[in-house]
Amino acid sequence: MSDTARNELIYDWNTSLSEPPIRAVGIVDETLRDGLQSPSVTHPTVADKLELLSLMARLGVTDVNLGIPGAGSRFAEECLILAREIVDQHLPLACHCAARTLPGDIAPISEISQQAGIRVGVGMFIGSSPIRRYAEGWDLALMLRRTREAIDFAVKHDVPVMFVTEDTTRADQETLRQLYITAIEHGAERICLSDTAGHATPKGTARLVRFIRELVGPETGIDWHGHNDRGLALVNAIAALDAGADRLHATALGIGERTGNTSMELLLTNLQLMRYIQRDLTLLPLYCRKAARMCSIPVPANLPVVGQDAFRTASGVHAAAIYKSEQKGDTWVADRVYSAIPAALIGRYQKIEIGPMSGVSNVRYQLAEYGLEASDEAIRHILEVAKQSDRVLTEVEILRMLVGAKPRHRD
């Protein structure tokens, strides 16, 4: 079947012929900074961080946050090791470190940059919302003065600046206007809008990004950093991109403060399906498994893309459609007939199990996976046992019922 004919099998309401061409988007990996601020993670070893850094590069991440060197000598040393790895292994990654708008926080980043032989930027942050200012006892004049002093210090020491306003999505227009204009006038190369408390909705995100894009013009880069407190991190990131942001932040498995950040695996998969990026995503499961192991966190079975159930079914109706497609020799259809995400995109495959809601197709498919043939009577027996079970059957249970079955001859 031709590609044109295949595309006609799925009518896509998500796209329109009148839409403008897809533009480039940068990806910032925050796993090693914001991700490790989750109270549930185990802090990984440097060796683990280096492995994850390599996977980031192979997945096409644009920029990586190495951490917060101002948090202590341990963190500064690890940031230096990571920066040197980027240089030594020629990894196609830009990098930066997080810091408050204080010269004392920025100085270690300058030292790391000099010792590693690579430009290490700073993502310098300051709270911007009225509630944060009230809690801290700040006024706008103080915030503007700190912004000027910190950026002037960074520029003097050749540290590229991304100016980050915390809690941007709950800040007023005039405060943001003064902070961003001041930051850009003093040398900030990029600005970052942060949904620090996970407050934003897609509509609010789009309104904010459009306002800031009009304010700073097309020359200044705009990053979006979202949190998932309302379960809207992914859709907010896409809304920010559509509204004019050009870089998006995410973490492996969405780990981070409280309920976490935008999930990297979901972001990359959706950007690929929406044609914003063209990457080899077959390493995504490995990237997520590595992050899970090094941080000692579970991967829920029903997690999209990388959970064990993402491409797994025991339903008779679903299995029948997949099985019939494969019988036609059309693996392209089999991988999409009951899946919005083709499993092959991330190096996985459709898996059919046998359980209480299964049908004959489940059994035939499973036997084909084992390279076995069985009589109709044996197939009925397996199905009867499955119907009485309260879960899917294990491979051992199925094979025990097939003692004496003949190997299937494969071409």
Q: Do 317 and 233 fall within a single domain?
A: no
Q: What is the pLDDT of residue 248?
A: 98
Any bridge partners for residue 64, and if so which?
Answer: 29, 95
Residue 347 pLDDT > 80: yes
pLDDT, tens digit (0-9, with 9 covering 90-100), for 36-94: 999 999 999 999 999 999 999 999 999 999 999 999 999 999 999 999 999 999 999 99
Helices (H), 170-315: 173-185, 202-216, 233-243, 264-273, 284-295
Assess whether pLDDT exceeds 60 at residue 157.
yes
Looking at the fold, whether 275 and 326 belong to one and the same domain comes out as: no
Any domain includes 217: yes
Q: Say which residues have a Cβ less than 8 Å from residue 17's Cβ, sequence separation at least 6.
A: none
Residue 404 has pLDDT above 60, yes or no: no
- Name the 3-class secondary structure at 196: coil
Q: Check pLDDT > 50 for residue 410.
A: no
Q: Taking a C-beta distance cutoff of 8 angstroms, is the pair 93, 63 a contact?
A: yes
| pLDDT exceeds cutoff 90 at 130 | yes
Contact (CB, 8 A) for 24 and 243:
no
Q: How far apart are CA 251 and CA 271, in angstroms?
A: 15
> What is d(CA 55, CA 49) in angstroms, rounded to the nearest whole number?
10
Distance CA 239, CA 262 (A): 13
**Would you say residue 306 lies in a domain?**
no
On whether residue 9 sits in a domain, the answer given is no
Determine the average pLDDT of the residues in 403-408: 59
Chosen domain end from 295, 322, 344? 295
What's residue 47's pLDDT?
97
Q: Are residues 268 and 324 in the same domain?
A: no
Please tell me the distance from the alpha carbon of residue 112 to that of residue 76, in angstroms, as a whole number: 8
Same domain, 214 and 338: no
Q: Residue 218 forms beta bridges with which residues? A: none
Whether residues 138 and 227 fall in one domain: yes
- Note whether 283 and 335 are same-domain residues: no
Q: For the segment 188-247, what is each residue's pLDDT rounded down to a tens digit?
A: 999 999 999 999 999 999 999 999 999 999 999 999 999 999 999 999 999 999 999 999
Q: How confident is the model at residue 20 (pLDDT cuts 50, 70, 90)?
A: low
Q: State residue 6's pLDDT score.
A: 78
407, pLDDT greater than 60: no
Residue whose token pair is 């917060």: 68
Please determine, for residue 114, whether its predicted confidence score (pLDDT) is greater than 90: yes
Assess if residue 230 is contained within a domain. Answer: yes
Give domain status of residue 281, yes or no: yes
What is the secondary structure of 309-335 as a DSSP string? TTTEE--HHHHHHHHHHHHTT-HHHHT
| pLDDT in the model for residue 400 | 86
pLDDT reading at 270 higher than 80? yes
Domain around 378: 312-407
How many C-beta atoms lie closer than 10 Å to residue 92's C-beta? 12
Q: Above 90 in pLDDT, residue 371?
A: no
CA 197 from chain center: how many Å?
18
Query: Is residue 2 one of the residues assigned to a domain?
Result: no
Query: Can you give the pLDDT at residue 163?
Result: 98
* C-alpha span between 222 and 74 (Å, rounded): 31
Q: Per the structure, how many domains does the chain have?
A: 2
- If you average pLDDT over residues 372-393, what whole number do you get? 88
Averaged confidence pLDDT in the chain: 93
In which residue are the tokens 């492996």 written?
252
Same domain, 46 and 147: yes
Q: List C-alpha distances in Å: 199 to 11, 168, 229, 233, 253.
A: 34, 10, 7, 10, 20
Residues 282 and 387 both lie in one domain: no
CATH number, domain of 269, equals 3.20.20.70
Per-residue model confidence (pLDDT) at position 82: 98
Please tell me the total number of residues recorded for the chain in this structure: 411
Q: 134 with 263, same domain? A: yes
% residues pLDDT > 90 (the chain): 80
For residue 164, the cross-strand partners are 125, 192
CB 208 within 8 A of CB 168: yes
Q: What pLDDT, on a 0 to 100 scale, did the predictor assign at position 411? A: 45
Question: Are 71 and 129 found together in one domain?
Answer: yes
> Cβ neighbours of residue 199 under 8 Å, at least 6 residues apart?
167, 169, 170, 229, 230
The answer to whether position 303 is within a domain reads: no
Tell me the per-residue pLDDT of 299-310, one tens digit each, with 9 for 90 and over. 999 999 999 999
Are 244 and 115 part of one and the same domain? yes
| Model pLDDT, residue 93 | 98
Provide the pLDDT confidence category of residue 167 given band limits of 50, 70 and 90: very high
Q: Cβ distance 90 to 56 under 8 Å?
A: no
236 and 266 in a single domain? The answer is yes
Can you tell me whether residue 46 is helix, strand or coil? Answer: helix
